Each structure stands twice: as structure tokens, then as C-alpha cells.
Amino acid sequence: MKRLIQLTVNGQAHDLVVTPVGTLLDVLRDDLGLTGAKRGCDLGACGACTVILDGRPVNSCLTLAVEADGSDVATIEGVAAPGRLHPVQEAFAVHGAVQCGFCTPGMVLVTKSLLDECPEPEDRQIREALSGNLCRCTGYVKVLDAVRAAARRLRAREGVR
Amino acid sequence: MGDYAVVGKSLPRVDAAEKLTGAARYTADVRLPGMLRGKILRSPLPHARIVSIDTTRAERLRGVHAVIMGRDTAGLRVAFVDTPKYPADEPPFALDRVRYIGDEVAAVAAIDEETAREALSLIRVEYEPLPAVFTAADALRPEAPLIHEFDYPGKTIWEDWGARGRPAGDPVPRTSNVAARTAVAFGDVDAGFAAASHVREDRFETVPVAHAPMEPHAAVAWFDPSGKLSMHVSSMGIFYKRFVLAKALGVPISQVRIHKSYVGGAFGGKIDVFPYEVGAALLARKSGRPVLIELSREESLTATRMDFHANVRVKTGVDRDGLITAQDIQVIVDTGAYRGSGPVVVFLCYSYNIPVYRVPALRYEGLAVYTNNPVKGPKRGHGAPFIRFAVDSHMDMLAEDLGIDMVELMRRNARDRGEVMPTSGDTLRSCGLKDALAAAARDGQWAARRRRTDWRSSERYRRGVGMSACSMFSGSPYYPFGSAAVIKLHDDGGATLFAGTVEMGQGSETTLSQIAAEELGVPLDDIRIVSGDTELTPIEFGSFLSGGAFVTGKAVRLAAADAKRQLFEMAARLLEADVRDLEARDKRISVQGAPHRSLTYAEIIALSVKHASGDPIIGKGSVKSVPDAELHPSLSTARGRWTEAYGFAAQLAEVEVDTWTGTVEVRRLVTYHDCGFPLNPQVVEGQIEGCVSMALGQTLQERIDLRQGQVFNPDFLGYRLPITHDMPAMVSGMIHSDEPYGPFGAKEVGEGAVSGVMAAVANAVYDAIGVRITSLPITPAKVMAGLDRARGGRG
């Protein structure tokens, strides 16, 4: 019944015993104690459980753990070094994009992933990228401000290099 | 106002880093050794008698540690309202009947979710279906089945706070499905209508919508070896939750501790004490292990609380100048299978409406009616969205009848500072309503756009603007009736603030820390806040009825002032100076005119410990939410003081209607909110933007699809929340009215701006296409039907 899988999570390799119905979200939250990925709907409709799977943002509640076998997973806990914030996280803090915080990890990961791929997104692209991440607190106004600011910041940093 | 160093500044939130790194712990993130998972068995029927429940097979299943049901609750009933007139009516687990689809019947705790789910399937319940009703109108018919056959009078939760009790006795038979009634009358209503030069009457309807915080409800419970209960809960006020939980479990308050959790949004939907919370505690007691109950999104949407179905009738008489001479309002809400907040909402539909316009004579009736639908509770604005939708749509129609511009009509009737509210006696010590109206009209280019076609894009796409206004309390006399705060100064002059607030997104940890820093004269970084724990913090009002910043903020300011007074007194002693000659700057107290005679805060604190019997300086402050109020006001007559300050907002919507498809696009939403003084403008803007977004959802797209008591869209695929693409350009401005009773002049901001959006959009749609929509949501189908009628009328 149970299966042995291997996952690399935030750079650390894990051997895990999972059930065939267990999701990646279950494994992260219950087996690895990484509760930054949130269970908001269990249906892939809210984006609160977003993690980066082999470089792409996915709803971890819709990803079976066995499907992720051998994959590389990045979660919110691994975005920045301990005690530090990634420029995307910093922009969210400065621009007031965080309220209750439940959607925040998913928003940050999707933003990071967008800006990794597309450093100069148009507004339409930002809205599209975040259209699968629900937020009930902010009305998205300050989230969009933060993403624009993060893009500027990251570009400036690239320029310096 | 510009001379503050910390308040009034858009400083980043103190909880941001934790939330941005995944470190912030919400209730469902709590992991304890040996923790079990709890699941609830719910009624599949809208109304039925329980003939029998057989749990033996579930109990025998391997991995199951406890099963509970109604008989484990000692016949207790809990409710949001529990007064002599409206005794608690909701058993945490069904005793003999179920009254809605989702009503709690039993609960199990098992080693994991899968086992718990399997155990639920092994519980056998035999039901005898009963006739059910699903609308308030049907429930009010004389032949309707009684949803509650008895009231159960007895000791109410308020009794130890001085509420009159009714002796526990035999159940009192009920004769109708009216769960609560509020009736208010003042002035000579008949004479007012007789004197009016114009009278009109209109009807409006709103449908249930969901709070839908991103965090589904959850609870963790465990007992320590001495028998004390500890819990993490999704709450909006830990002391209220502890109070009701202790009552529900029949244990002293000091035996219950709520531990801190961040709360992932609430919007009114997490105030109540819920059966799953009582269930978690009972399962933990029975199993001897910690129990986590995490509701699914479906349970959270359908079986906690939702907003009301409301029918509103408004009749108004006006004189030639458009001044209101008399008003007659009736509100009927479907409150669902239990009272929920029904008695409160029919009171609030009066109380949130009356501060906006001057009404010399009023007849108001509010009825909350039992049905076999899910239970209704407070949702952001709590009645204000539907009463303001009705009244300001109606005002827009009156304005057209009279040939008076809507903003001018609103301005003529709007209340001013200094006015005293009828029945409550509340005084508007600050009132920026007219300033808000003027600012919203200016920024929304009202004069250039209203009733004009020259700025429209085409015949197909028509544009219009609409306006509405609203009002909201700043805390009320409701348990625990006040807040206290403690500030402990540290060796280096930094401080820890102990305040019972629950951080649920509103930014209370940040704004309260800012208040403490400002008053103490230290930077925000020097403040650390301990919150959300009933053992570590003094009693706190809670973050509902929009009293968080206003009530608790005042207590924090007093605590900081107390600590500062002690610092000054110690400094005066040490510097051998008169305390009145001292001044503080940059965490240093010095003698005016003699800057060399000075000590740092750190030095004073250290010397205080040395010289004052170890006193490290601890400040304390407390305040009542409404100092003049004995207890809560009468919900049925609306008499009694209710709040110290009202917030106001004016909201303008600019819409574009596609006349081919009926789609309404809100292009721009301008809000001016009179919040007194913004303690943190960025946090205030965030509250306004959140209100507007939630309100636009309710206005244009959100609707719980209830059919025969069953929710047909119990998830985020069927119940569509606004997404990034749906958001219009927002202008979120603040009116500084400097509330004299508020901390630094602040008053409410978290709820007000939700309530003017509906009428603003409906009025803008009328301005664009001449179609009046009187029920929410404003769907393309309704718009097309209206356009067809208009065309037919012309033809």
C-alpha cells in the first residue's frame, strides 16, 4: 500500500513513506512540519498551498506525493536565508501587501516565480500570474503594488551586478 | 497632527516577517505530541427528529479514541445572543432534532483524518424527517412547522455581569418562528408623512453571502494533567471566546486558556463559539489526547455562519427641499435554524442607518425569522450593507423624483457633528460625513459625469456614476465591555506591550505597538507585543463591532502613559528636580534648560530597580468600551447607549455597462472614510481596500446558492470570490475628524467602507442605462431583463 518516495525540499533530501492518496501538501505539513503552505480549499481554487515543484508553481493540494517522487520542491520556508527576506518578501512588507497572511506564502512564491521568468512584467501579466491566488483581505491593491516594486528592485539589483 | 513620531505613519507591520516566511502559526498549523484529528458528523436533512444514534461500530474501529454526541454536552445550549428575552437555542450537538443540513450530530477523534472519516461512516443515525421551511415568508405563515417548539429560559451567560436572569424553569412553548423583533418609533410619523410633499415606497432584497476568510475554521484542544483546558482557536476576541466556551463546557473561566494563533481572516465569521470548538474540547477530555479539528472549506462555507437573506421595505416622505419628514422601514431577515446574530442584526439595521440622515419621525420594525437554512451571523458591516443598499438606492430614486442632484439631497439630509442619536443618546462628537461626500464627489468627477453622456465610450458601453454613504460604531457595550493593557519596560528602555488583541489581518499588533511607542517616546522597533493569549494578557474587548483600535488602543495609550509617568517620577527623584520641569527626547529625560542634568530611560529603569524595591516600571491602563453604559442596550427597543464614536464613509462608483451582455464593470471606486485619525495610513488603506473588494463581490457576483436548505456552491469553484482581474481602480481617502474620545483622535475603519458600495454601484448602473436593480447581486441576467423592460416600455 505505502510507497517510499524521495523529495528534495529547500535543498534537503528526504526519504518519505506515503500513501497513494497522500498529497504533497499533506507530506509538507504533516511529515516535514513545513506549515507555511496552507490548506485553504483542498481543490486547487485558492492558491494558498502553492509551492515550487521543479521550478514551476503548483497547487500542492492537487499534487499527489507519489507524483512528486524524485522532485525538487521549494517552499516559503526556503525562499530566504534565516533572518533575512527575499526582495519579493521585502516589497510585500514595505507596501502593506500582508494582512491576515494566510494567502501570503502562495502569493510570494507565485510572484518570485513570475519575476524569475519575466523580470519586466506588464500589469496584465502580473494580474494573470496572481489570478489563481485568492485574497479576501487586501482587495489585491497593495499586492499588485508590491509585485511592481519587487520587479523594479530585482531589476535594479541585476543592473548593479 | 504632524508632530507625532510614530502614529500617523505608514510603518511596515510588525507581523509581516513572520507571515512572509511561513513562520506565523495559525491554529491548523499547531502540532502536538499524540495529537488526534477530529471530524464532525452532520445532518443530511434540513429538519428531522433523531430516533436513534448508534456509535458502537465507530467506537470499535481501530485508531478511534473518542466519539461524542448530544448526550455528552449535558443538555447545554450556546448562542451569540443569550439574554433573558432570547435564551440560547443551539445545542452544540443535536439533542433530539436537527434543524438544517450541516447541523452537528456527533464527532469522532482518531489517529488520522482517514480513520476519523471512516469512523463517521460507521455511525448509524435514524432520522424521522419533519416538514421544513426555507424562506422567512413561508416560516411566518400560520401553518408553518415550528422550527423551535420551546424556548429554554434559565441562567444566561450575562448574569454574572449583572444581566437580569429568568429563573430556570420548564421549557416555554413557542407559537411562531419569529426569532427576534426590534421595534422603534419616535416623532409623529403620520404627521410627517401628511406634511410631506412627496412620498415613495420601495422594496429591496439581498441574498446570503459567505465570509470566506482564506483560513478555514479550526480548533485545537488539550487538557493538562491538572484538568485545565487549553485551546487554539480561530477567533476575533479571545476573552469573549473563553467566556462562552467556559459556559458551554460548564467549567470556571480560569480553567480555560486560549493560546495565541494568528487568524487567517475572519470578517465576523469567527466571533461565535461553534459546535466544533466545543467538540474538540469534549473529544480531548474523553480521549486524554490533544485534538485538532480543521473544518473543510465546504464546512466552513456552509455550516459555520453566513450573511443574512434580507427583505427591506423603505417608505420616505420628503418636503419640497428634499428634507426627510418621516420614514417607515421594515427589515425581515431569514436567520436560519438557530438565532445566530438575528436579534442583533435587526437592531443594527436601525442603529447603523440612523447616524447617516436626519430623520425627525421614524417607524422601524425588524424581524429575524427561523427557517431550516444554515445559521446566519455577523459579517463585516453586520446589516449595514443591506440597509444602506436599500436606503441609498431609495434616496437615489427620491432624488430623481424631486429633480434634485443625489449628492445635494444627501448633503441636505446628512447629519453633523454634535447631533445626538435618537433612542441611544449617542453623540456624534466627530462627524466627517459631509466632508467625505464632498471629497468623493470631487475625486469621482461627479459634477462632470452624473446624468451626462459626453464621457461615454459608445452606444453599446454606457457609463454612469453613483453615490452612497454609511456609518459604523467604534466598539460597544458587549462582553467583556472594555480592554486593559500592560506595558513592561526593559533594561534598555525598550518595552513589551501585553494586549489581548487577536491579529487576524486588521493590523492590531502594529497599530497598538505604534500607540505604545508614541506615548512612551520610543521607536516602534523598541516595542515587542505579546497578544492573543488569555493567560499572558489582561482582558480585551476583541476585534469586533469595530472596537479594536478605539477601545484597546485607548487602554494601550493609558498603560504607556502610566509607565511614562513612573519614569518621570523616578527621574525627578534621581535628578532632584520637579517632575514638571522635565522633558523627554530620544529615550532620555532631562531638566528643561539644563540638558547636562539628564538620564537615559535605561539608566532610570536600572536605578528604579536599585532604589525602588526592585520596581522595573510596569504601566497599566484600562477603559470601558462605553463608560456610561450599564450593560448592553435593549436589542428589542434600541434603547441604551451603544457606542462612543461613529465612523462614516462616502463611496462613489463609476461603472460601465455592456448593454449587449448585461455585464457591469466597476471602473473606479472612490471611498472617503472618516476614521478620525489614521494611526497607520497604510493599514487604514488596506482596510478600506479590503472592504471595497468584499463589497464588490457581494454587489456583482457572490451568492450562496441555497435550494431547499442545501448549498449548491460550497467551494471556491462554485462560489467565486473576486480575483486580481476583478479589481477596479480604487481611491481610498481618509477624512481626519479628530475624534475627541479616540486614541490620538482615531475611530473605526475596519467595517464602514463595506456598506456604501452596493447602492453606489446600483445607482451608477441606473445612471448609465436607466435600469433600477433592487436585489443583489447585480447579475447580467437582471441587467438584461431590466433593459428589455425599458425597451418594451418605450416601444
Burial environment of residue B394 by CB neighbours within 10 A (0 to 12, 13 to 18, 19 or more)? buried
pLDDT bin (cut points 50, 70, 90) of residue A160 is low
* Max intra-chain CA distance, chain B: 93
Last residue of a domain, one of A54, A78, A102: A78
Of B44-48, B129-133, B155-159, the range with the lowest mean pLDDT is B155-159
| Catalytic residue of the set B215, B518, B644, B751 | B751
Rg (CA), chain A: 16
Task: Check if the beta carbon of residue A87 is closer than 8 Å to that of residue A154.
Answer: yes
For residue A13, what is the domain's CATH number? 3.10.20.30
A139 CB neighbours in chain B (<8 A) are 689-694, 722, 727, 730
Mean pLDDT, range A118-144, rounded to an integer: 98
B104-110 and B64-69 beta bridge pairing: antiparallel
The predicted pLDDT at position B84 comes to 84
Does residue B165 register a pLDDT over 70? no
**Sequence-separated (6 or more) residues with CB below 8 Å from residue B336:** B100, B342, B370, B371, B373, B374, B375, B376
Q: In angstroms, how far is CA B3 from the centroid of its own chain? A: 33
Helical residues (DSSP H) of chain A, grouped into ranges? 24-26, 87-94, 104-117, 123-129, 141-160
Interchain CB distance below 8 Å, B262 and A45: no
pLDDT higher than threshold 60 for residue B687: yes
Nearest of A58, A145, A129, A41 to residue A95 by alpha carbon: A145
- The DSSP bridge pattern shows strands B104-110 and B97-98 to be unpaired
**Cα B150 from chain centroid (whole Å):** 30
Provide mean pLDDT across the span B283-302: 98
**Interchain proximity B730–A126, CB inside 8 Å:** no
Same domain, residue pair A54 and A104: no
pLDDT tens for B442-487 read: 999 999 999 988 887 789 999 999 999 999 999 998 889 999 999 9
Contact at CB, A99 and B26, closer than 8 angstroms:
no
**Which among B28, B262, B723 has CB closest to A101?**
B262
Give the total number of structural domains in chain A.
2
In whole angstroms, what is the distance from residue B329 CA to residue B428 CA?
23
Q: Which residue of B has its CA nearest to A38?
A: B215
3-state secondary structure labels for all residues of B459-474: CCEEEEEEEEEEEEEC
List B222's β-bridge partners, or say none.
B230
Rounded Cα gap, residues B140 and B142, in angstroms: 6
In this structure, what C-alpha cell is assigned to residue B665?
Answer: 464593470
| pLDDT tier for residue B170 given thresholds of 50, 70 and 90 | confident
Task: Please give the Cα distance from B728 to B666 (Å, whole number).
Answer: 6
Among the partner residues A38, A77, A137, nearest to B690 by beta-carbon distance: A137
Residue ranges covered by each domain of chain B: 16-23+482-624, 31-132+134-168+214-265+270-302, 309-476+631-794
**Cα–Cα distance measured from residue B124 to residue B455, given in angstroms and rounded to the nearest whole number:** 66
A chain contacts of residue B294, beta-carbon cutoff 8 Å = 39
Do both A96 and A71 map to the same domain? no
What cell numbers appear for B789 in the block? Answer: 423592460
ipTM reported for the complex surpasses 0.90: yes
DSSP assignment of B359-377, as one string?
-SSEEEEEEEEE-SSPPB-
Q: Do A96 and B13 touch (CB under 8 A)?
A: yes
* B20: nearest CB among A39, A42, A92: A92
Answer yes or no: do B213 and A136 touch at CB < 8 A.
Answer: yes
**Neighboring chain A residues of B265 at a CB cutoff of 8 Å:** 99-100, 102, 136-137
Q: Is B25 on the interface with A (CB under 8 A)?
A: yes
The parent domain of residue A117 ranges over 87-160
The answer on A133 and A70 residing in a single domain is: no
Whole-angstrom Cα Rg for chain B: 27
- Single out the residue in A78, A102, A122 at which a domain terminates: A78
Q: Do A101 and B25 touch (CB under 8 A)?
A: no
DSSP string, A65-90: TGGGTTEEEE-GGGSS-TT---HHHH
Lowest mean pLDDT among B95-104, B171-180, B603-612: B603-612
Separation of alpha carbons B479 and B203, rounded Å: 35
State mean pLDDT over B689-712. Answer: 98
CB A51 within 8 A of CB A74: yes
Which of B294, B724, B725 is best to mutate for the A interface (most A CBs within 10 A)?
A: B724
**Stretch A2-18: mean pLDDT:** 97
- In three-state secondary structure terms, B713 is coil
Distance separating alpha carbons of residues B673 and A3, to the nearest angstrom: 57
**Those residues with Cβ within 8 angstroms of residue B287's Cβ, 6 or more apart along the chain or in another chain:** B36, B65, B66, B109
Model confidence at B168: pLDDT above 90: no
Q: Name the nearest CA neighbour of B730 among A101, A56, A102, A143.
A: A143
Q: What percent of chain B has pLDDT over 90?
A: 89
Cα B513 to chain centroid distance, Å, stands at 22
Given the C-alpha cell 461553534, which residue does it identify?
B274
Domain B31-132+134-168+214-265+270-302 carries which CATH code? 3.90.1170.50
Burial class (CB in 10 A: 0-12, 13-18, 19+), B466: buried
Q: Per-residue pLDDT averaged across B257-272, rounded?
A: 97
Q: Does one domain contain both A18 and A70? A: yes
Asked if B277 is an active-site residue, the reply is no
Q: For residues B344 and B359, is the Cβ–Cβ distance under 8 A?
A: no
CA B18 – CA B32 distance, rounded (Å): 21
Contacts of B621 (CB under 8 A, 6+ apart): B484, B485, B554, B555, B556, B557, B558, B559, B560, B561, B562
Of B53, B40, B41, the residue nearest B128 (C-alpha): B53
Check residue B154 and give its pLDDT: 78
- Residues facing A3 on adjacent strands: A18
Q: Are residues A72 and A135 in the same domain?
A: no
Structure-block grid coordinates of residue B490: 526593559
Half-sphere exposure of B668 (CA within 13 A, CB side): 16
Same domain? A129 vs A100: yes
Nearest to B727 among A34, A39, A139 (CB): A139
pLDDT number for residue B794? 47
What's the N-to-C CA distance of chain B in angstroms? 60
A36, A91: one domain: no
As a whole number of angstroms, the distance between CA B741 and CA B644 comes to: 7
**A43 and A110 inside one domain:** no
Give the separation between CA B769 and CA B460, rounded to whole angstroms: 10
**pLDDT at residue number B74:** 80
Which of the residues A32, A99, A112, A122 would you substitute to probe the B interface, choosing the one with the greatest number of B C-beta atoms within 10 Å?
A99
What is d(CA B460, CA B338) in angstroms, rounded to the nearest whole number?
A: 47
Nearest to A148 by CA among A122, A128, A130, A129: A122
Task: Report the mean per-residue pLDDT for chain A.
Answer: 96
Sign of CA dihedral A47, A48, A51, A53: negative
**Matching fold, domains B16-23+482-624 and B309-476+631-794:** yes
Selecting from A94, A137, A139 the residue whose C-beta is nearest the C-beta of B12 gives: A94
**Spatial separation of the C-alpha atoms in residues B526 and B517, rounded to whole Å:** 8
Span of B60-69, B162-171, B202-211, B402-411 with lowest mean pLDDT:
B162-171
| Dist. CA B640–CA B149, nearest whole Å | 31
Together in a domain, A110 and A133: yes
Contact B21 A98 (CB under 8 A): no
> Is B714 an 8 Å CB contact of chain A?
no
Phi-psi region of B613 (alpha: psi -120 to 50; beta: other; left: phi over 0): left
* C-alpha dihedral (B269, B273, B276, B278), degrees to nearest 10: 170
Q: In angstroms, rounded to a whole number, what is the distance separating the alpha carbons of residues B486 and B494?
A: 14
Domain end: A26, A46, A78, which one?
Answer: A78
Nearest to B567 by CA among B541, B603, B530, B524: B603
Contact A100/B504, CB-based, under 8 Å?
yes
pLDDT tens profile B621-663: 999 999 988 777 899 999 999 999 999 999 999 999 999 999 9
Write the DSSP assignment of B236-247 as a string of letters. S-HHHHHHHHHH
For residue A158, name the pLDDT band (cuts at 50, 70, 90): confident
CATH code for position A94:
1.10.150.120
User: What count of CB pairs under 8 Å joins A to B?
Assistant: 174
Question: How far apart are the C-alpha atoms of B208 and B371, rounded to whole Å?
Answer: 13
Q: What is the mean pLDDT of chain B?
A: 95
The class of domain B309-476+631-794 in CATH terms is alpha beta
Q: Nearest chain B Cα to A135, which residue?
A: B214
| Other Cβ atoms closer than 10 A to B216 | 27
Residues B386 and B389: their CA atoms lie apart, in Å, by 5
Phi and psi dihedrals of B342, rounded to 5? Answer: -50, -50
Question: Looking at beta carbons, which residues of chain A come within 8 Å of B15?
Answer: 98, 101
- The interface residues of chain B toward chain A in range 485-504, judged by CB-CB distance below 8 A, are 504
List the alpha helices (DSSP H) in B322-463: 342-351, 384-402, 406-413, 433-443, 446-449
Q: Residue B795: what pLDDT?
A: 39
Stretch A38-64: mean pLDDT:
98
Q: Do A33 and B31 touch (CB under 8 A)?
A: yes
pLDDT of B319-360, one tens digit each?
Answer: 999 999 999 999 999 999 999 999 999 999 999 999 999 999
Is 3.30.365.10 the CATH classification of the domain at B16-23+482-624? yes
Asked if residue B160 has pLDDT above 60, the reply is yes
Cα–Cα distance, B366 to B34 (Å, whole number): 50
**pLDDT at residue B532 above 60?**
yes
10 Å Cβ neighbour count for B492?
A: 14
Q: Are residues A101 and A58 located together in one domain of the fold?
A: no
